[in-house]
């Protein structure tokens, strides 16, 4: 059962704004208030995402800029997350950063935010609204990178199953499109079945057990992060670690298991630091910097894509050495710093 939380954080007392200024205008101030909206709290990855964003806000103090954050993090449906955005506007924030539960449902409320001069940035899942921008990884490209590794590892032929996240979630859907496109280029790779396990490790393990029992000839598994440890546990139980190649994940506990047992695995990195990266971009924009004309791309033409590292057996030791002292639930992460974010601006 998912934990339901509502958290408000502030580096100082929050003062409601008395008016709005378009985010493209130069700001004669060194204090900004940013709302952070997370509509699902079902994984430690999301908790780390929020923590890293809060840390990024605090780090701006070293540059003489005070960034106050209000965090609304709870298990809510789309309407509940729209309420997050409305609450932020009523509190007079300068910008909103949202990990959205839908790619299209926020268009009207984002339009209202734009009318009030509030900068809106989505992260982790792209949105269609032209009143918002996206700063995060290309979820389709994330899936394609690990699917290409799996196809190459299988020599372009084999029987594959896929274990996906939350059905209907925009990031999940883009990932499905990504691996289907890759495997579709290999006529000798057959996708036997695709199931959903909701980014839950226990559900991933049960799904893999069922798939192994149903399809004994599986030799490849494409599984999303958050479920790979469970899937690999089921593969271990079945004594199939030597004849199955499967994607993995980026948590320390899984990397430890991967290293110790010598899995044939690879993992694309979707860093929890994407929201922190988006926050650094937001502050630069609020300070009056203008985006480069050619910086945007993506499905909706409003995306700034961040790099996607890939962990394989070739660089596993190096990655593991960097995170081995972190808690087991900690995910490999990267953050685009303010200095690095300047590349997106003129």
What is the predicted pLDDT for the residue at 43? 82
Tokens of 282: 């937001």
What is the predicted pLDDT for the residue at 117? 97
What is the predicted pLDDT for the residue at 277? 98
Is the CB of residue 268 less than 8 Å from the CB of residue 146?
Answer: yes
255-307 residue pLDDT tens: 999 999 999 999 999 999 999 999 999 999 999 999 999 999 999 999 999 99
Instruction: Give Cβ neighbours of residue 223 (< 8 Å, ≥ 6 apart).
Output: 162, 163, 204, 208, 231, 246, 247, 248
Is the CB of residue 169 less than 8 Å from the CB of residue 224?
Answer: no
Length of the chain: 346
Say what percent of the chain tops pLDDT 70.
92
What is the predicted pLDDT for the residue at 231? 97
What b/e sequence results for 201-237 when a residue is b if at least 16 CB atoms lie within 10 Å of its CB, and e otherwise? bebbbbbbbebbeeeeebbbbbbbbbbbbbbbbbbee
105-119 residue pLDDT tens: 999 999 999 999 999
73-92 residue pLDDT tens: 999 999 999 999 999 999 99
Beta strands (DSSP E) in 149-236 are 157-164, 188-196, 220-223
Cα–Cα distance measured from residue 181 to residue 193, given in angstroms and rounded to the nearest whole number? 15
What is the predicted pLDDT for the residue at 18? 28
Instruction: Report helix, strand and coil shares of the chain as percent, to nearest 5.
Output: 40, 20, 45
Instruction: Give Cβ neighbours of residue 59 (< 8 Å, ≥ 6 apart).
Output: none
Tokens of 87: 């609450």
Considering all CA atoms of the chain, what is the largest pairwise distance in Å, rounded to the nearest integer? 65
Query: Could you say which residues of the chain have pLDDT below 70?
Result: 1-29
> Which residue ranges form the domains of the chain, and what is each CATH number?
31-136+271-307+332-344 (3.40.50.2300), 139-268 (3.40.50.2300)
């Amino acid at each position: 059962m998912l934990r339901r939380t509502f958290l408000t954080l502030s580096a100082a007392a929050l003062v409601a704004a008395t008016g709005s200024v378009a985010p493209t205008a130069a700001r004669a101030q060194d204090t900004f208030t940013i709302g952070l909206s997370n509509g699902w709290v079902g994984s430690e990855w999301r908790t780390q995402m929020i923590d890293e964003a809060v840390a990024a806000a605090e780090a701006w103090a070293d540059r003489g800029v005070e960034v106050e954050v209000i965090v609304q993090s709870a298990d809510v449906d789309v309407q509940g997350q729209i309420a997050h955005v409305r609450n932020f506007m009523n509190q007079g924030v300068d910008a909103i950063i949202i990990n959205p539960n839908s790619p299209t449902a926020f268009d009207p409320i984002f339009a209202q935010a734009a009318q009030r001069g509030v900068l809106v940035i989505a992260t982790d899942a792209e949105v269609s609204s032209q009143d918002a921008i996206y700063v995060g990884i290309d979820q389709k490209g994330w899936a394609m990178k690990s699917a290409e590794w799996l196809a190459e590892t299988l020599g372009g032929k084999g029987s594959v199953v896929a274990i996906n996240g939350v059905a209907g979630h925009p990031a999940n859907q883009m990932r499905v499109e990504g691996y289907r496109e890759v495997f579709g280029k290999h006529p000798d790779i057959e996708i036997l079945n695709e199931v959903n396990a909701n980014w839950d490790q226990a559900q991933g393990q049960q799904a893999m057990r069922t798939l192994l029992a149903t399809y004994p000839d599986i030799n490849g598994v494409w599984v999303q992060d958050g479920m790979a440890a469970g899937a690999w546990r089921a593969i271990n139980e079945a004594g199939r670690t030597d004849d199955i190649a499967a994607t993995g994940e980026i948590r320390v506990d899984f990397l430890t298991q991967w290293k110790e047992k010598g899995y044939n695995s690879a993992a694309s990195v979707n860093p929890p630091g994407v929201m922190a990266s988006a926050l650094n971009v937001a502050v630069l924009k609020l300070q009056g910097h203008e985006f480069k004309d050619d910086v945007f791309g993506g499905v909706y033409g409003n995306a700034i894509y961040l790099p996607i590292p890939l962990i394989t057996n070739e660089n596993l030791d190096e990655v593991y050495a960097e995170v081995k002292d972190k808690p087991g639930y900690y995910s490999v992460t990267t953050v685009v710093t303010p200095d690095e974010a300047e590349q997106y601006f003129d």
